Amino acid sequence: MEMHNIPFGVTKWEEIDATVHPGETGQASWRTQYFGDIRARIVEYSPGYLADHWCSKGHILYCLDGELHTELEDGREFVLKPGMSYQVADHAEPHRSSTIMGAKLFIID
């Protein structure tokens, strides 16, 4: 992958307005920046969050805080803790996330 037409810049994430996305239970709060076709987000999931859909979008996801449970449609399950990441391609393996205690993530997609 090559990144083009993105000048050097600094992102002050706390200054970006959050958008709220309800889950089946709980909610996700996104602070989003676009760099050309690349979307970067800080996402905070509330305790008890469960996604309301299976996601087929590709991501590189890094856990900053809390604990994230990710279930693949084929039944496999993974737990991310701070300092761990996962990556998945577009349309590769449908997945959905949940958290008992809440989680804070940095996501590129």
CATH of the domain at 32: 2.60.120.10
Give the pLDDT score at 1. 66
Q: Over the stretch 9-67, which tens digit does the pLDDT of each residue have?
A: 999 999 999 999 999 999 999 999 999 889 999 999 999 999 999 999 999 999 999 99
In a domain, 27, yes or no: yes
Total structural domains in the chain? Answer: 1
In a domain, 12, yes or no: no
In a domain, 3, yes or no: no
In a domain, 8, yes or no: no
Q: Are 95 and 65 in contact (CB under 8 A)?
A: no
d(CA 69, CA 4): 34
The pTM (predicted TM-score) of the whole model is: 0.90
In a domain, 9, yes or no: no
In a domain, 49, yes or no: yes
d(CA 44, CA 85): 15
Give the pLDDT score at 3. 80
Q: Are 6 and 35 in contact (CB under 8 A)?
A: yes
Tokens 């002050």 map to which residue?
A: 12
What is the pLDDT confidence band of residue 96, given thresholds at 50, 70 and 90? Answer: very high
Domain of residue 89 covers 18-108
Give the pLDDT score at 2. 76
Q: Are 51 and 43 in contact (CB under 8 A)?
A: no
Q: Are 11 and 33 in contact (CB under 8 A)?
A: yes
Give the pLDDT score at 61. 96
